[in-house]
């Protein structure tokens, strides 16, 4: 995917369309997420509201954070469909099914995140000070994420995310249902690649716009960096995670958004001021 494709070619045009459409959707999702979060007052970082409220916000967050880095896969998907005979469906419909499956995989992870936040709140962890949360929550999670960077599972999942053509050669399925299944599978690889980065985001404050932006940029750089820079990108991310852990241990107050990442919500998802 590091080979440049002229925009005038059919492949280049589909890449451009994928960038524009997913970029626009990501912007809309960012605006919607920020609009929700701007109304929040400082409160418990583990207050997640109702399940329905959290799932809607989580899907918006994943669209905002992941769409900027998933466009090569969507572009390759539409290209493969257009070049197969007897596809039986237009690329747009299948692409929508693929993206829906991708978001479905992240939604499933979001349900796990909801459960973890609920358990943390029930256990009274929100009574800890910001410094204690940083030292005993953020630091070990960031260190675990740094170590995960060199685990074979992480690298295997990242290869699937960075190599959409090989993914489709191995996992291709026909029809809308096949596109949905491929989206779910690719989303699962993406979860396998990024789940500990999301765990760091949970520890820092899942509704912190600042850390959402930092994590989304880190994911995009790792997935989209040219092949010759791929190892450097992953290495830089590892160093960054270690740095977050060190700061969380030594100077928690230096971490942006710690203690203000989430607002307090009642059971219906209404923000309490």
Average pLDDT, the chain: 82
pLDDT at 197: 95
Reply yes or no on whether the pLDDT at 156 is more than 90.
Answer: yes
Nearest to 157 by CA among 124, 115, 192, 184: 192
C-alpha span between 168 and 185 (Å, rounded) = 11
C-alpha span between 224 and 264 (Å, rounded) = 36
C-alpha span between 79 and 108 (Å, rounded) = 28
pTM score above 0.75:
yes
pLDDT tens digit sequence for 5-26 = 444 565 566 667 777 888 888 8
Break the chain into its structural domains and give their ranges. 10-255
Reply yes or no on whether the pLDDT at 146 is more than 50.
Answer: yes
% of the chain exceeding 90 in pLDDT:
41
- DSSP class of residue 227 equals G
pLDDT at 149: 94
Kindly indicate the confidence band of residue 174, based on its pLDDT and cuts at 50, 70 and 90.
confident
Nearest to 23 by CA among 220, 163, 214: 220
Q: Show the DSSP H helices in the chain as ranges.
A: 10-37, 51-83, 91-122, 130-133, 139-148, 152-162, 164-171, 175-205, 209-224, 230-250
Arithmetic mean of pLDDT, 68-77: 89
Reply yes or no on whether the pLDDT at 190 is more than 80.
Answer: yes
From residue 203, alpha-carbon distances to 27, 135, 168, 199, 245 in Å are: 25, 10, 34, 6, 11
Lowest mean pLDDT among 84-98, 107-121, 129-143, 240-254: 84-98
Kindly indicate the confidence band of residue 56, based on its pLDDT and cuts at 50, 70 and 90.
confident
């Amino acid at each position: 995917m590091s080979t440049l494709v002229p925009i005038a070619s059919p492949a280049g045009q589909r890449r451009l369309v994928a960038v524009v459409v997913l970029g626009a959707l990501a912007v809309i999702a960012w605006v919607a997420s920020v609009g929700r979060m701007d109304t929040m007052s400082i409160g418990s970082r583990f207050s997640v509201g109702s399940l329905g409220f959290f799932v809607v916000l989580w899907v918006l967050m994943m669209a905002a954070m992941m769409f900027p880095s998933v466009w090569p896969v969507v572009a390759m998907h539409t290209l493969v469909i257009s070049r197969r005979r007897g596809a039986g469906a237009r690329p747009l419909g299948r692409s929508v099914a693929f993206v829906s499956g991708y978001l479905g995989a992240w939604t499933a992870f979001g349900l796990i995140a909801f459960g973890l936040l609920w358990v943390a709140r029930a256990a009274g962890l929100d009574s800890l000070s910001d410094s204690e949360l940083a030292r005993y929550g953020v630091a070990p999670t960031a260190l675990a994420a740094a170590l995960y960077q060199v685990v074979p599972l992480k690298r295997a999942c990242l290869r699937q995310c960075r190599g959409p053509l090989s993914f489709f050669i191995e996992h291709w399925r026909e029809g809308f249902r096949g596109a949905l299944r491929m989206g779910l599978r690719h989303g699962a690889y993406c979860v396998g690649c990024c789940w500990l980065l999301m765990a760091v985001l949970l520890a820092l404050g899942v509704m912190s716009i600042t850390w959402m932006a930092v994590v989304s940029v880190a994911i995009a750089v790792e997935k989209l960096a040219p092949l010759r820079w791929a190892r450097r990108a992953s290495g830089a991310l590892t160093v960054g995670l270690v740095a977050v852990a060190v700061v969380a241990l030594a100077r928690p107050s230096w971490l942006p958004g710690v203690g203000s990442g989430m607002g307090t919500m009642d059971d219906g998802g209404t923000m309490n001021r």
